[in-house]
Amino acid sequence: MKRPARILGLVVAATLAVGGVGVTAALNDRPQDARPIQDPPVGPTPAQDPAQTNSLGPTETAPNAQPAPAAPVPVPPTPEETTAALNRARQGEALNEIAPPAEEEDEEEEEVEVVQAPTEPEGPPPPRQRRRVAVVQAVDKVTAESIRFEVEVGGRPVAFKRELIFRVRACEVSTEGERDQEAAGYLEISLQPRGVITGAEPRQLFRGWMFASSPGLGVLEHPVYDAWLVDCRA
């Protein structure tokens, strides 16, 4: 009698485990409601403590020395310096008598500025940096309700007003070496009307790339809702 009871217990445990996995997968696929986020404040940082920024070390006292004289004391030249100065003066007068002074040139030489052409970087551009979270802005045109929320790349979908469902497959930003800084994300937006039988597939409205600096390149076309990509964050 013990062996059939043990087999029956194992069958019941396996059934409960399979049912728990199915419930967990169904909860992960179910979209969660969008939660608004706030951008960090932008402005000047608070002033630092002068005691911390202007800290000086211990001062050193100067050694005792004799005070400087009130007026400069002239030093007479030596006889050798006087003789050398007279010889240089005589040689200068003789050269002025032999060779007349050269005429000063009125025209000054024009300075030519050499401009170097910019060098192009060698090799292919570096790949874009991938981010983990996409920031999306959604608007209800009828009620003027707007919300900014985050959607994890490849994670659980997010629903706006329980009808507009967002999924993000990729979110990338430009590298520091690129001329234009850009954030781009690959989004899938679907509509799940209210009152639909549970289990029905939502109708897809948009699928493609959206650009933060150019919202007109990827547009969600819907009479009630509007949405666009704001940024990509780590």
pLDDT tens string 193-206: 876 555 678 899 99
**Strand order from edge to edge, sheet including 133-140:** 145-152, 133-140, 225-233
79-98 core/surface letters (b: 16 or more CB in 10 A; e: else): eeeeeeeeeeeeeeeeeeee
Q: How confident is the model at residue 51 (pLDDT cuts 50, 70, 90)?
A: very low
Helices (H) and strands (E) in the chain, counts: 3, 9
Q: Strand (E) positions, 80-155?
A: 129-130, 133-140, 145-152
Each residue's pLDDT tens digit, 126-141 = 677 899 999 999 999 9
Average pLDDT score over residue span 17-37? 66
Element holding 82 (H helix, E strand)? helix 79-98
Torsions phi, psi of 10, nearest 5? -65, -40
Torsions phi, psi of 80, nearest 5? -65, -40
Residue with the larger pLDDT of the pair 91 and 186: 186
- List the domain boundaries for the chain: 125-186+198-233
Share of the chain above pLDDT 90, in %: 32
Q: What's this model's pTM, rounded to 2 decimal places?
A: 0.52
